[in-house]
Chains A and B, each alone.
Chain A
Amino acid sequence: MERRVTFGGWVCPALLLLPQMAVTLVFFFWPAAQAIEQSLLRGDAFGLTTHFAGFQNFSLLFNDPDYLASFGVTAVFSFSVAVLALAPGLLLAVMADRVVRGAAVYKTVLLMPYAIAPAIAGVLWMFLFNPSIGVMAASLRWLGIDWNYLLNAPQALLLVILAAAWKQVSYNFLFFLAGLQAIPASLIEASAIDGATPRRRFWTIVFPLLAPISFFLLVVNIVYAFFDTFGVIHNVTQGGPEQATEILVYKVWYDGIVGLDLGGSAAQSVVLMTIVIVLTAVQFRFIERRVHYA
């Protein structure tokens, strides 16, 4: 889409663009270029010299069992977070769409976790499930479950998944609710007159109409689980026990900042960039399609 009527000259737009271009060049293109350059270099053991290493960093990376394990952890983590954030979001939105009384109160409370930092959501859940003092940990022990996420890998992964998903339900709830409210009432009424039960109305009319927004939310949730959950991991498990919760973005940080493996961390950055670009491309293709058919 383009405008017909515009202003002339180039000095004025250049000045208007200058601040954003400057910030983008310095803090975006320069570091991104350096990440790619670093990923192709290798330093010696003392970090004094570097030499061009081609794709050596990448081949080391993909032959590193820890990195491949981190890929696996990230896949399980992201998928679980997405499902556990989407399903309750949809359920709550469908229910909120049906009630009249108290609807505003429900909506307000259900939106609150969106405002809470993932790092803080992690701390709240860690406090509930702390093996020695947590209220929920005590309940689990009372039920006969041997709960100690500090030692038990699946329990640790479960805890960070729950904390990360808890925060994200709000977002999905809001988008599903907006999607539901955009469905014309006449469609639902027509099928009701034809004798369709509420369950059938949901699965044959409402759910298909929500499919595009569900797909969009799936991508957004996966991106969230990939990148915005660093604070949850860093606060709750520090990637442990034994790297059971070490997702890719945590490993980039750990290997680069703590381990000082610059080439390896840069190669990981490049891999992550590729993943985001693919996810974003998928998302934009989909949005374009939706615009076409809408």
Chain B
Amino acid sequence: MMVSAPRSAVVPHAVLIAGIVLVLFPLFVAFVAACDTLPDILSAPMSLVPGPHFFHNLAEALLAGTAKTSGQPVWSMMLNSLVMALAIAAGKIAISVPSAYAVVFFRFPLRRPCFWAIFVTLMLPVEVRILPTYKITADLHLINTYAGLTLPLIASATATLLFRQFFLTIPDELVEAAKIDGAGPWRFLVDTVIPLSKTNIAALFVILFIYGWNQYLWPLLVTDTPSMTTIVIGMRQMIGNGDTQTEWQLIMATALLAILPPVAVVVLMQRWFVKGLVETEK
């Protein structure tokens, strides 16, 4: 290995740098556009040297939005996205830890059917049952509410399966020790199982946060008032249908704002992220 390392390292570095350029180039162009004025962008081809208007555009998007979003400022869209992402992540974990605990640590009638009922939800993402799910959400008067935005996306079994797998690895001796010490199922859950699951919960939270933040089809259907718009949907509205001037400098500033939170989560919490991603798929 040590003999061949200096010679063979050139090609890998070249390929990896090419990969990085491919990843960063669209982001860089978005950044440049967010630094320009609209006439700068429209004088095609735009210059690839960033202009001086970055903070001005950022502030305008954050505080005022665009005419096409009915003047809905991006900060409120980000708040909606944050609430949605946190509610989906926390909600999925809050319902899946108890249900996984129930199917692993108890023997009760209908245990298998319950497990399969949860398990089968893995197979049908919300995208394939959009219309009936929309109808039910409307019947329950949940259109334009955070509950309507998040509950249908919480109904999926990925988290339950992950916790089930993990709970099965908890040694029987721990359960026996808890029983001898007189701890009931609630005590065992709170004092032993949840503390042991901390890293799994953190990893899953990171994945679910990104999943929630990036939702598109469901928020598009279930919200139609400006005050409930999420940032990913807000960008779509800013682009519009080309009827009036498209304010690209604000759209790209908004794109950067939409990308920042989930990318920051991936970069700063990379260890949890990688663990969560690799384990939820097994």
Give the B-binding residues of A (Cβ under 8 A): 1, 3-10, 12-14, 16-17, 19-21, 23-24, 26-32, 34-35, 38, 88, 91-92, 95-96, 98-102, 106-121, 123-125, 127-128, 132-135, 138-139, 166, 169-171, 174-175, 178, 189, 198, 216, 220, 227-228, 230-231, 234-235, 249, 252-253, 256-257, 262, 265-266, 269, 272-273, 276-277, 280, 287
Contacts and interface: CB of A to CB of B under 8 A. Distances in A.
**Size class of B's contact patch?**
35 or more
Query: Which of A107, A112, A128, A178 counts the most B-chain CB atoms under 10 A from its CB?
Result: A112
A266 B179 CA distance: 51
Which among A38, A92, A96, A125 has the highest number of chain B CB atoms within 10 Å?
A92
B32 to A, nearest CB: 9
Contacts of A118: 214, 216
Given A35-B132, A273-B128, A276-B125, A99 B26 contact: no
Given A21-B114, A95-B15, A230-B217, A115 B124 contact: no
Given A6-B107, A257-B134, 19 more contacts: A12-B102, A13-B111, A14-B102, A17-B98, A21-B99, A98-B12, A101-B9, A102-B16, A111-B267, A112-B266, A117-B213, A127-B33, A133-B44, A139-B45, A220-B281, A231-B216, A273-B128, A276-B123, A280-B123
A116 B211 CA distance: 10
A99 B16 contact: yes
B53 to A, nearest CB: 17
A123 B124 contact: no
- Mostly helix, strand, loop or mixed at chain A's interface? helix
Contacts of A124: 26-27, 29-30, 255
Contact of A19 (B95, B105, B185): B95
Contacts, number: 300
Interface of B: 1, 4-5, 8-9, 11-13, 15-16, 19-20, 22-27, 29-30, 33, 41-42, 44-46, 48, 94-96, 98-99, 101-109, 111, 114, 117-118, 121-125, 127-137, 140, 151-152, 154-156, 160, 168, 172, 175-176, 179, 184-186, 188, 210, 213-217, 220-221, 232, 235-236, 239, 248, 251-252, 255, 258-259, 262-263, 265-267, 270, 273-274, 277-278, 281-282
A258 to B, nearest CB: 11
Given A27-B151, A31-B136, A113-B23, A106 B232 contact: no
Contacts of B4: 198
B110 to A, nearest CB: 9
Contacts of B106: 6-10, 12-13
A280 B119 CA distance: 11
A278 to B, nearest CB: 10
A117 to B, nearest CB: 4
30 contacts: A12-B186, A13-B102, A13-B108, A16-B99, A16-B102, A19-B94, A20-B99, A24-B117, A28-B155, A31-B132, A91-B15, A99-B9, A99-B16, A106-B20, A113-B23, A115-B210, A116-B263, A119-B236, A120-B232, A123-B255, A124-B29, A127-B33, A166-B22, A170-B23, A266-B131, A269-B128, A269-B132, A272-B127, A276-B124, A280-B123
A125 B25 CA distance: 10
Contacts of B277: 114, 171, 174
A92 B19 contact: yes
Nearest to B117: A24
Nearest to B24: A109
B124 A32 contact: yes
Nearest to B18: A92
B265 A115 contact: yes
A98 B13 CA distance: 9
Which residue, of B48, B94, B251, B266, has the highest number of chain A Cβ atoms within 10 A?
A: B266
A110 B19 contact: yes
Contacts of A30: 132, 136
Contact of B278 (A35, A38, A102, A178): A178
A1 B105 CA distance: 12
Nearest to B215: A117
A4 B179 CA distance: 13
B29 A98 contact: no
B121 A24 contact: yes
A34 B136 contact: yes
B282 A287 contact: yes
Contacts of A109: 20, 23-24
A133 B255 contact: no
Nearest to B41: A133
Contacts of B95: 19-20, 23
Contacts of B22: 88, 166
Contact of A21 (B117, B210, B267): B117
A253 B107 contact: no
